[in-house]
Structure 1
Amino acid sequence: MVYSLTYRRPSHVRSSASRDSLSGDDKQKSINDSITSGSSCMSNGIPEALSFDRIISGGVCPPCTVRDFMNYLRYIEHSAENLQFFLWYRDYCARWEKLPESEKALAPVWTAEQAEAEVAGNASQSRPKRINPQVAAVLRDTDFADGAPKHAVDKADPFITPARSSVDDKKDLMSDYGSSMGDETLASSTMHQSVANQAFDDAGMKWKPFTLQPYRDEIGRIISVYIAGSSSRELNLSARERQAVLHALQNTTHPTAFRSITRTVEYSLRKQAHPNFVRWTICNGNRPRVVFARGLGIAGILAGFTADLLLTLSHASRPWRVIPFLAWFIGIATLIAAWKGIFLIMVYSLTYHRPSHVRSSASRDSLSGDEKQKSINDSITSGLSCMSNGIPEALSFDRIISGGVCPPCTVRDFMNYLRYIEHSAENLQFFLWYRDYCARWETLPESEKALAPVWTAEQAEAEVACNAFQSRPKRINPQVAAVLRDTDFADGAPKHAMDKADPLITPARSSVDDKKDPMSDYGSSMGDETLASSTTHRSMANQAFDDAGMKWKPFTLQPYRDEIDRIISVYIAGGSSRELNLSARERQALLHALQNTTHPTAFRSIIRTVEYSLRKQAHPNFVRWTICNGNRPRVVFARGLGIAGILAGFTADLLITLSHASRPWRVIPFLAWFIGIATLIAAWKGMCVVLHGLHHRHLRPWELFSDEPGDLNNEKWLSQDTLTSESGNSFEDEPWVPRYRKRNVIRKIFDRQIWIEEPALRQIQDTIFLQAVLGGFVVSCVVVGIFCGVPRGDFY
């Protein structure tokens, strides 16, 4: 899927002084036109998806994010201060709107009429006065001479108590305690204020600003950093613009005081920096790589020209002159692309192979905890290298879990794959809950942490050894067993003993259920359901403890005890809705640990098993599956096309060989051989070359009928309530299942498509495509060469 074939990338916009000739209204009109054109399909070679507002709002993926924009302005154009100021101003306006009206009233709106009046007054005052030369001679060297220093005292603000800035509450608190950081903050604030006062003096201000206005200290910093002459990030402002904004800031801290320079800065960003950034981003290689590509293009053209020239001067027949066509084509295409800053194919190593499919096996059960931990550490280390088992660093497990990737490789896509393809989503759900649980545990006060001590590895081994000893079968004399049969003393008879209750019988409130408990206090239906659900989870957890041979109930005052009960009933207990694939020993060891503490270390034994399964099996399989850009019907169809192309080439070469046509004619079916073999190789690796040419993929069956936006669906699946929900991962009852089954094969083959956003995935697919092209070219040359070596048949 491409834009118009007449598309041309944005032209480079040079920095010029032409903007200074535009009035404020002209700049605002130009900005509005830019916003309007950005909402259309294409504006000056910039699509709507890469518009200035889309980039600033964070609606794009790398390498077009606002961070990339900042780096470009900093390292390439050397004008990052414009974007830095613009981003600060947007944030400042948003924070201003949240201020109470009482604070806003201290800083009135600065109107355009006031700004024009101030500028006009300053212009009239700055006009040179005409003085009689005789009078000037008489008054020379006196206090009445023009330009003589005036010993007037500055008018002080009647409210001399300095106000605290709304954004500096935390800094002021630090300075109150006299820490080194507070001293530095206080000194920095004083320095900024002095720089700002000097800027006001240089602009001819006759009084100090009103210090009780909100954000006055912050405005002082902004003046000292961006507006004052020779500041560290001085904006490229004219003398009139600088004087106008200082006059406005002398009177108010309202965002409208920046109206004049904000227009200038935004105009520069929209009309110069943004087009240049998009043009620069289109280039996918550095300068040496692009120069190298241009050299390759020229070399291909020269090779084609030389081959055609030699064939023309020889006695070879005309069909032979078609052979250099490939050199001409590759050379010209490479040169045109390189002239626009693009290297045709950016790939990994040509020896790259996609991750092998890892089958679920019981081999992990034979590994000890230390061996699993070592394997996990090796996975983390290898993920930091350039390539690990066909998985680049950009698609590593930790990168996906931390949210540092784009669709279709996000944690949500990982969850959907495990749920709908591998049917083991409970591993990732439990792992995400555990990470969040550890983070929440660290925020608990020490008084609550003390109630749940750390569960050491030695304690876990001792508990398991004790349980193994107690669980050994007792040898009973057969005669004694026959006598005691059907009595209360028989082995296996039910014991009517009362469970030992916890001495502290007052139930504790879970730290994560503080919001739910108030609802149950008022007796609402939601509160009743929450209370009933909590009781159900507790009873299931108690049953799991009983089945594991626990002799006492857990300590209920420990933090997050109710949540732990839910986790046991959902993930740990036998027959639970999301039961983890744990051995009997792992389950028993975990329950023994959770009987004593709710500390995250209690999960040490099973979290290794779960993480090992995710890193060593689920993650490689997910990356392998994601590389496939078409659904199964489309891939099978592509394989059929490849086989058809090979058969067409074979049939054509066979017929030409059996005829009386000369050998050069046997080269013509090369194209059919090449397309067929390349298509077959790509399809065998799960890729459709047509979809790859567009960098598209088919929508997954569960994505085709989804009515929820991606972000909302992501929050739904990864929320805390969902991760601890007792609902299973079965999807047979979901509405999309019968609807997808009713779709015919033709519709599945040409199903809806979507652009692949993740750059690393596109690069993997480029590599596989190049491998398929090179493989098709080499095999085609060999096959066609064999046919050319066979004598002609002369049958017709």
Structure 2
Amino acid sequence: MHRTSSYGKPSEESYVAKLHPWAEKLNTRRLAGITLAQVLLGGTCSPISFEDFEFFLAFREHSLANLQFVVWYQDYRKRFSELHDRQSLKRRDESISSITSCSSLASNISHSKHDIPSGPYVPIPSNDPDNPLPIPPPISLPPVLSSSSPAINDRALREECMNVISTFLAPDAPKALKLDAGLRDDVVRRLATNCDPDVFKPAYEAVYFYLDRVSLPRFLAYATPNINLPKQIFFYILGILYIVAAIIITITLILFVPVPPQSNRAWRLLASVPLALGTYTVCAAWRGFCAQLWHRQSVQLHSWELQAANAKSLAYVNSVRGRGLGDMRRCVGLVCNSADGTYGRGSPPVCIFQSEEPPIESKPRGGGDTPITFGVTRPPVFGPEKVVKDARILAVHRQVMQSCGMVGLWALLIFSAVILPIPGRQE
């Protein structure tokens, strides 16, 4: 199967929130029931839709060929089966028609009296060796339908299979699948005799297994955070500042607030509030979560999602924002910040311009000859965003918020229990 570039390691220049393996496991445990079949059949919505998975493979893992081969094989198998059924039905109708005509001929011979020549009836003895019974003419019976179908050697299908070999299976193919050499050679050898979908089945199973067991879990792990790397770093810094502020407030109150009276110890609880906020913020950064985005039911875009530009989006930007925005030809994405996915007056679209960083891919757009260069665009700290439509992702975000809230609450209780007994300044 087609793996990522640079010896199987994806490019780190993606600005994706960095999650610890434990955080990834906690985030994705609610998504364990999502399979590749559901994604391919459209059973998931943004941000884990089929289009999102396609962008992930194209710009993150650089293994879009795997998905293209799987989709082609499923479509090819369906078309092959339909062609086989049509040809079988046609042959069956021809067979029924042939049998009917033969039966009609036999009936006419046995029942018609006008065709018998006139003259005396002379019986032919069946045991006379000199006058044997006449041999009846051979009857054309319909051929027996075998398991093999003419579709196996259909010319159009064979040409399509040859194109698949030159695209996916040849060692120097532009979208060569990283298959075992023996498996690849066996598929090509078997295609010399027929183009049955079962010939491709071993290669399909290997690619499908890699997509389902390797690429899909990575994709779900990247889809669970609702923030990008810049905002994650910002949350880490903010949480640490909250915790440092809580420690400074605690030390100040212990040193300068006299005890007794013992009631003055209650002032130390003021430091528990920033400590709880800091712990919550650090936990949210660790799991790649922002409560404000969750309330808006949105997530920040990944860097590879900023590359989707088309003529319609460019025309829309020109019509809404007018001139004076710089070179619109460098726009590589149109993003909506509104929660309902519409472009209202209060939420104008955001045009993402191409970065000056080195490009990662170049390909024609819409089948044309003009290459489009995709660069790695650094997303801003607080945007842009897209709407979350999948209920399972919203449930994951809700669970993350509740978990981080419990961590902050436990931190508040433990910190309060620690600082209250500490002796204070004596009067």
For normalisation by structure 2, the TM-score amounts to 0.48
For normalisation by structure 1, the TM-score amounts to 0.27
Q: Which is bigger in relative contact order (C-alpha 8 A, separation at least 6)?
A: 2
Q: Considering fraction of residues, name the structure with more strand.
A: 2
Q: Considering fraction of residues, name the structure with more helix.
A: 1
